[in-house]
Structure 1
Amino acid sequence: MNDTFKIAVIPLDNRPVSFTLPQQIISLNKNISVFTPPREFLGGLVSYSQVDKILEWIDDILKQEKVDYIIASLDTIAYGGLIPSRRLNTSPEEITKNLNIFRNIVENHNTNAKIYGFSSIMRISDSYVNEEEKEYWDKFGKEIFKYSYLKHKLDVLNHDTQEKEDFDGLKNKIPPEILDDYLKTRERNFSINRFYIKWIEENFLDFLVYSKDDTGQFGINVQEAEALDAEIQDKKLFDKAVTLTGADEIPSDLVSKALVDNYGQTIKIFPVFSTENGKNVISRYEDKTIFESVSGQIKLCGGEIADSEENADMVLLVHTPENIQNDHCLKIYPESENKEAVKICIDFIKNTQKPVIIGDISCANGGDNLLVMQILDNETIITKIYGYAGWNTTGNTLGSVISTGISRLIAEKTGNFEINNFKKSLLIRLVDDWAYQTIVRQKIRAITDIADRKTLKEELVPLVLNLTKKIEYNLKLSDFDLDFPWNRTFEVEIII
């Protein structure tokens, strides 16, 4: 075990969940140094990462520092980020050129750093929103999604005559040149993902994650994941590669994996679910049950599922829906407020003798207002909370809160815990996941269609002040700011 060690991170893009969240998780340990490229090198919604400058940056870092772990978004190196991986028509030859430059840089420095890479399996959005997709998505997005869904379903089941007719009809609705362009982009990205398996076989990559972003039970993306899984199994690489539902949380997961690897001891986590059927629910934007997501995220973070609360280092309290997950962003609420599930959560935290991390996933795209309010009203239980998350998807929430909890546990066990940094990170999650995503975002959208920082700040400040008192974090309002990094209201950056 290294008492002090260094991690270099190449993020997916410039969003706070990609750029700052992994750094916040690392900052709970005062013995770890983290290096990231200048943020302006990274891409956004309408700009692409400056790959040449990022490659120069990693070359310089490896010249100057003895780095122990490199956590790299391969999408950033290959395409310039997540969004361009879906949009650009770059040839496979151009893509592998940048990838090989990255490999040559790392190998030329004879570094002993472990390299954890992650790459996305291209998503298929069920919408007409082309903000993150090809230009034609605003006209044919839902048709392409349905084409993908039915193609996979018919390949597997192949017995529904009506669905076969629907599938044939879709091929006539989507112009051939558009369908051809879409499928060629998918084929290219899939070939690049297969290329990474060679890197594992050649011992360049120590670990690789394929992430399924915004997925469902059927789709070409699911078929690609199954094919990658099969190749991983056939080549007996299952200890070095995995496919996982999620995306934005993966760098945080890999930070946790690096901490556990360096620490040399497995962290045992016992999951508890707030509703009887909750662990069997398939969340929105995912293709696995909540229990499967919990298991996959714990394992990726370097943890192990404990066989009992007594034998656990920490409890993962998963606040689940009973049958169908609500969605704050889409304003879809098939399930009413579950006071009994909230009571189960509060009573559990009060009674357990173990540290608790809370994965608040009864609703997608924000936390449960009743749960958070009752936590804040029970100040004696706040000290037991080693992490909270309730943002976007189930995978996003679970990965970020598990990695936060593991980081804190390791920091405490090694005598390197930075409590003020923990309180800051907890405050940011509560402000973002609860105050903003659950409460304020809907208010803002009712007032204006634009990302208005002034209005947002006016709405958030009272909530922020209340939160700082509850978690005993000393914050001057002059040190609090916020931004819309992609100039839209979907995500916000809380700056403290």
Structure 2
Amino acid sequence: MKKIVYLPLDERPCNYAFAGFLSEENPSFTLIRPDIGILGKKKIPADCEKINAFLSEECKDTDYLIVSTDMLLYGGIVPSRLHHLSEETLTKRLDVLKKTKEDNPSLKIYAFSLIMRCPSYSSADEEPDYYEECGREIFLYGQNEHKYSAGIIKKAEYEEKKKTLGAACGKYLDDYLSRRTTNLALVKKCLALYEEKIIDKFVIPQDDSSPYGYTAIDQAEIKAIIKDKGLRVDIYPGADETGLTLLAAAVCDFEGISPKICPLYPNELCKKVIPLYEDRAVEESIRKQIENAGATFCESEASADILLFCNLPAGEMKNANDQCGEAYDLRNLPAFLEKIEAAKVRGKGFAVADLAYVNGGDREFCKMLSERVGLLNLWGYAGWNTSSNSLGTVICQSIFRKFFGDTKTHRKFTAERIYEDVGYCSYARKYLCDEYLPKIGCDYFHADGYTGKVSEKAKSVLEDFIGKNFPEISEKYQIGRCYMPWKRMFEVGLTVENRAKEQKQ
């Protein structure tokens, strides 16, 4: 039995609970995570001293360490954008990786680091407080700097914008840029650890895909280092799914098998779609997600271990709140479903990456899938937040399904994805924001707490929606617990349990 220590990006379910859930009921490894109580809460950083102690103790006899350096260094993804820590302090925190490797030379460390994002809008929800006032201007200031250095705009335009935007940013720009400089220096130090073979596998998910601006400047600098040193480090869209990607890679590594995964599309135009919030054709991201999960990208259906059916539009992607349009009519879903049915009949491994919309699953497609194939027969399903978030989740689940079989855990995780990705993300969230929150004095960014009226109403709405639209799921599974992890409406926390009649059987 292998031991895997797992330090997530933050305490939200997608980063903490998904990995724990998928790792249940397997004969090959034990997943060890820090107590969620030390991992902070949104803008409150994790207790980094306790994390250091946790790693020092647990890594003495572990086989793999999956580590988010943003959690290790700053105490989570949001604190990485808020801190005032010195490079010296952060370097000392990073040294725990060297120490664990010295104490346990056979340990394999799989790490990931984010390059700090620079949102194009003004909001302090996940950024410094001043970003509410001048976030848009900070983004535009960086974009202006980048475009001028790239020769895209002329000096007169550059200087005029620099003066205007600089005045709008005021004293806050120095604080923002100082943090960027520090964080970038730490990414470089992580690359050095990879070069020294302290870190065995390293990826840099791309949380911000704007083509111009501070993040793009930093990405270009990191890419240049990678190229110059000939390092095998990928930078590709993603963030919250990366822990699962590296967890799957660890499993493939100790199993000694790299499953062949073949992506399939409703229409050949689909593979060229650039998903919302990303910067490249989806086929490129799919390949990177497969390979970094320890699997092999495959173009042959016949030789593939897993067929990854990627539900995508044949043109511009839309938000899950608006589920229709010409680009979606061109998909030819009936023919796509026939392919999925044929895979089931042939006994092939088959999973669905529901990438048709951003921020939620495709309700029409999933109903057809349930009726014709059975959602619980899938080797994996995901359709939440961004395309890359969904890809990393479904690829990990399908790899686990290959190695560990059709377990109760596997089916329950699929049921949870339907409740959350299709039920909450593409239906209940908008319904609650439009119809319920105004009645109780709440809004999108302010639910009434971790639990309360909002979470209770969300549970009720979800049970009703899934009951009416996905009886295959609702007859077997119900929501055990519903909560709002960051006390807002963007994400929901769910635990799914067997219905009473299922428990008796």
Fold in common (TM above 0.5): yes
Compared with structure 1, are the counterparts of its residues 95 and 332 closer, same or farther at alpha carbon in structure 2 (3 Å cutoff)?
Answer: farther
CA distance in 2 between counterparts of 1:199 and 1:463 reads 49
Q: What's 2:75 paired with?
A: 80
1:316-327 equivalence runs, <5 A: 316-327=308-319
Which residue identity lines up with residue 15 of structure 2 in the other structure? S
Matching of residue 183 in structure 1 with residue 177 in structure 2: yes
Which residue identity lines up with residue 464 of structure 2 in the other structure? P
Task: Tell which deviates more after alignment, 177-186 or 394-403.
Answer: 177-186
Using the size of structure 2 for normalisation, the TM-score is 0.89
Which residue identity lines up with residue 436 of structure 1 in the other structure? Y
Compared with structure 1, are the counterparts of its residues 160 and 341 closer, same or farther at alpha carbon in structure 2 (3 Å cutoff)?
Answer: farther
Aligned residue-pair number: 479
Match of 1:429 among 417, 438, 462: 417
Structure 1 portions without partners, runs of 5+: 412-416
Shift of 1:173: 4.0
Matching of residue 204 in structure 1 with residue 201 in structure 2: no
1:298-309 equivalence runs, <5 A: 298-309=290-301
Match of 2:52 among 51, 55, 77: 55
Shift of 1:445: 0.6
Shift of 1:356: 1.6
Task: Tell which deviates more after alignment, 355-364 or 114-123.
Answer: 355-364
Shift of 1:433: 0.5
Compared with structure 1, are the counterparts of its residues 157 and 369 closer, same or farther at alpha carbon in structure 2 (3 Å cutoff)?
Answer: farther
Shift of 1:57: 1.6
Q: What's 2:493 paired with?
A: 493
For each residue in 1:337-369, what CA deviation from the matched residue of structure 2 results, as whole angstroms up to 9, or x when unmatched? 537443233122112332221111121000111
CA distance in 2 between counterparts of 1:312 and 1:473 reads 33
Q: What's 2:139 paired with?
A: 145
Structure 2 portions without partners, runs of 5+: 438-442, 448-453, 497-505
Compared with structure 1, are the counterparts of its residues 28 and 433 closer, same or farther at alpha carbon in structure 2 (3 Å cutoff)?
Answer: farther
Matching of residue 118 in structure 1 with residue 112 in structure 2: yes
CA RMSD of aligned residues (A): 2.3
Which residue identity lines up with residue 189 of structure 2 in the other structure? F
Q: What's 1:400 paired with?
A: 393
CA distance in 2 between counterparts of 1:196 and 1:258 reads 19
Which residue identity lines up with residue 283 of structure 1 in the other structure? P
Is residue 360–residue 389 contact of structure 1 (8 Å, CA) maintained in 2? yes
**SS of structure 2 residue aligned to 1:315:** strand
Match of 2:382 among 381, 384, 389: 389
Matching of residue 349 in structure 1 with residue 340 in structure 2: yes
Shift of 1:247: 0.4
For each residue in 1:219-263, what CA deviation from the matched residue of structure 2 results, as whole angstroms up to 9, or x when unmatched? 32122222212212221221xx22221100000000011011111
1:159-238 equivalence runs, <5 A: 159=153, 164=158, 167-168=161-162, 170-238=164-232
CA distance in 2 between counterparts of 1:229 and 1:190 reads 12
Is residue 253–residue 297 contact of structure 1 (8 Å, CA) maintained in 2? yes
CA distance in 1 between counterparts of 2:471 and 2:409 reads 16
Is residue 56–residue 96 contact of structure 2 (8 Å, CA) maintained in 1? no
Q: Percent identity?
A: 29
Matching of residue 267 in structure 1 with residue 262 in structure 2: no
Q: What's 1:310 paired with?
A: 302
Which residue identity lines up with residue 487 of structure 1 in the other structure? K
**SS of structure 2 residue aligned to 1:29:** coil
**SS of structure 2 residue aligned to 1:357:** strand
1:456-495 equivalence runs, <5 A: 456-465=458-467, 469-471=471-473, 474-475=476-477, 477=478, 480-495=480-495
Is residue 326–residue 335 contact of structure 1 (8 Å, CA) maintained in 2? no
